[in-house]
Amino acid sequence: MIIKLAQRVFLLVAILSVLAKGQGKNNSPYNISRNLDMKIAGISGGLLLGSMLMDYTPMDLSEIAGLKPSDVPDYDSRAIDNWNVGSIKMSDLLLFSSIAVPGLLMFDQEIRSDYRNFSLVWAQSLFLTLGFTNFTKVLVGRPRPYLYADNASDNYKLKKDNRKSFFSGHTSISAVSWFLMASMYEDYRPGSNISSYLWASAFLVPAYTAYCRYDAGKHFLSDVVAGYLVGSAIGVLVPRWYTKNNNKVNLSFILQPTGKIKTRLAYEF
């Protein structure tokens, strides 16, 4: 699900990266920098490519049978007995609806007239979140909570994503979408009375998404907390990086003696 979504976002970013240069309104709150734009897209694409190239094998029934609840930290252990198909369906609904949420701002004529800059910041934020989420899932390879109990069927337990519990992609995508919407609306309409309602929604809807994923038995508590923090941080920071007259962001790549490439991101408050 995440990779297919990432492919569509990547195509959108690639197209907008070409079109957006110099195409935004003069009074747009954002300044599209080709340098910053390609760096973010490069990091996002690299993370997604890395997640696809890394060795990942779903757990089979014999491996699942060997899982021990005692190996789960105390703060996460309560999730083991969770299983709720209704919460799974609700979390899927929240995921796909959240992706489209920033697009609601296009009903505002001021924002719609700056659609190229707006769309690029939106796509970059989503793409970066997808990259961090999927790379971490494959790298960590954490078994999902429902594997430890007998509530789910064997067919469900054998799903290809049964070792992608950390961290929650539904939560991170919901969080980045809602926090991005609130952050960008405030950039276009500073001082608006609507902003407080958007920020309240930004805090509450991803939190409910996180609860549904936890109640469904798809994620541990630490999975959804991490997803919430990553998504909300990206949803707030990426618009700041593109804000006009913003010289507080320093994004660079460093080639280490070992041959590995280190990414350095500095933000001055």
* CATH number assigned to the domain comprising residue 31: 1.20.144
- Our CA dihedral for 106, 110, 116, 117, rounded to 10 degrees, sits at -110
pLDDT of residue 19: 57
Q: Which residues of the chain have pLDDT under 50?
A: 22, 251, 253, 255, 259-261, 263, 269
Indicate the pTM of the whole model: 0.86
What is the residue range of 79's domain? 2-267
Domain count, the chain: 1
What separation in angstroms does the CA of 251 have from each of 36, 121, 247? 8, 16, 11
pLDDT of residue 34: 86
91: Cβ contacts below 8 Å, ≥ 6 apart: 170, 209, 212, 213, 216, 218
97: Cβ contacts below 8 Å, ≥ 6 apart: none
pLDDT of residue 27: 79
Whose CA is closest to 265, among 253, 206, 257?
253
What does the alpha-carbon distance between residue 202 and residue 198 come to, in Å, rounded to a whole number? 6
What does the alpha-carbon distance between residue 45 and residue 7 come to, in Å, rounded to a whole number? 10
Q: Give the model confidence (pLDDT) of 87-100 as tens digits.
A: 999 999 999 999 98
* Beta carbons within 10 angstroms of residue 1's beta carbon: 11
pLDDT of residue 260: 47
